[in-house]
């Protein structure tokens, strides 16, 4: 068998998340369909992450394996070949051979998500599918003070939603939680060793609540300690979220 690593970008607006769906409207369905046209074994994908309905990506990593007898396309041409069978809103950005030991999910050391807000009374129509419109002026200094409290290892039960009744290990280590403003656009950059279900959107929704003056920045510490989802802000809408990058250790380390 030969293993290949793909780095993907997609606009999630038209899809029911990353996962394969009975409807065929998962992002994975589009790529596996394109792979089936190239490889008779119809390989399945193993991904670094699962994005929700409407969430975008520009750095999701996945891998697949095919028998050596089917691996006739040079790696440098593989991305072009797969993209020829994909819709315009899904693209393979890079395709490389991977060692047999590589695993897209378990080898990942950290992930970065970015969330965009359009903070202006009038929404930019060109940004409507990639940014949350928050018309009220936000207190950026208060939001940045609150964001600092998320950095470090914490129990994030108050910032997640159970998926199928399962929570998963609640401890996560956030390496960075930064807020950058350029004109009307505010970007949240959140990097962590891993994320709970809807954790990013819960963090952003709470920070916007702080920015609107509905709770003080220091209350984030109380929210984390409560382990109670009812104490935090509502989830930010899905369409402002992008899986930006997945990090791996350099080979040999």
Q: Angle CA(248)–CA(21)–CA(18) in degrees, nearest 5?
A: 25
Residue whose entry in the numeric block shows the structure tokens 């695993």: 103
- Provide CB contacts within 8 A for 187, sequence distance 6+: 114, 115, 116, 117, 179, 180, 181
- Catalytic residue annotation: 52
Q: For residue 210, which phi and psi values (nearest 5 degrees)?
A: -65, -45
Residue 252: pLDDT above 80? no
pLDDT for 169 equals 80
Please write the tens of the pLDDT for every residue from 26-39.
999 999 999 999 99
Which of 81, 41, 87 shows the shortest CA–CA distance to 64? 41
Average pLDDT estimate for 232-242 = 94
Q: Which of 107-116, 155-164, 203-212 has the lowest mean pLDDT?
A: 155-164
pLDDT for 166 equals 58
Domain boundaries, the chain: 2-98, 109-248
CA distances from 125 to 55, 129, 130, 133 (A): 18, 8, 10, 10
- Provide the CATH number for the domain formed by 109-248 in this structure: 3.30.70.660
The total of other beta-carbon atoms located within 10 Å of residue 165's CB is: 5
pLDDT for 23 equals 86
Confidence band, pLDDT 50/70/90 cuts, at residue 233: confident
What mean pLDDT, rounded, does the chain reach? 94
> Are 2-98 and 109-248 the same fold in CATH?
yes
Question: Strand runs (DSSP E) across the chain, as ranges?
Answer: 2-10, 46-47, 56-66, 90-98, 108-118, 132-133, 152-155, 171-182, 185-192, 241-248
Cβ 204 vs Cβ 131: under 8 Å: no
The better pLDDT of the pair 166, 106 is held by: 106
Here the tokens at position 80 are 């072009």
Please write the tens of the pLDDT for every residue from 43-102.
999 999 999 999 999 999 999 999 999 988 888 899 999 999 999 999 999 999 999 999
What DSSP designation does 228 have?
A: -
Residue 253: pLDDT above 50? no
Task: Evaluate if pTM is beyond 0.85.
Answer: yes
Please write the tens of the pLDDT for every residue from 151-193.
999 999 999 876 655 556 889 999 999 999 999 999 999 999 9
Here the tokens at position 63 are 């891998």
Which of 143, 157, 132, 164 shows the shortest CA–CA distance to 223? 157
- Provide the CATH number for the domain formed by 2-98 in this structure: 3.30.70.580
């Amino acid at each position: 068998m030969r293993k290949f690593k793909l780095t993907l970008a997609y606009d999630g607006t038209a899809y029911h998340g990353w996962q394969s769906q009975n409807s065929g409207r998962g992002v994975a369905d589009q790529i596996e369909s394109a792979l089936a046209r190239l490889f008779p074994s119809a390989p399945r994908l193993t991904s670094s992450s699962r994005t929700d309905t409407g969430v975008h990506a520009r750095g999701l990593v996945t891998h697949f394996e095919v028998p050596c007898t089917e691996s006739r396309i040079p790696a440098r041409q593989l991305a072009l070949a797969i993209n020829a069978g994909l819709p315009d809103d899904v693209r393979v950005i890079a395709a490389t051979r991977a060692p047999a030991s590589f695993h897209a999910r378990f080898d990942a050391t950290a992930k970065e998500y970015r969330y965009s807000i359009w903070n202006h009374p009038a929404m930019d129509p060109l940004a409507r599918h990639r940014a949350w419109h928050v018309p009220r002026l936000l207190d950026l200094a208060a939001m940045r003070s609150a964001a600092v409290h998320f950095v470090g290892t914490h129990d994030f039960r108050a910032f997640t939603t159970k998926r199928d009744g399962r929570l998963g290990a609640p401890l996560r280590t956030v390496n960075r939680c930064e807020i950058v403003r350029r004109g009307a656009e505010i970007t949240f950059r959140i990097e962590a060793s891993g994320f709970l279900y809807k954790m990013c959107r819960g963090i952003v929704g709470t920070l916007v609540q702080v920015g609107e003056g509905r709770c003080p920045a220091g209350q984030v510490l109380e929210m984390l300690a409560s382990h109670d989802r009812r104490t935090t802000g509502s989830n930010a809408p899905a369409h402002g979220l992008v899986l930006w990058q997945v990090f791996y250790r350099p080979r040999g380390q």
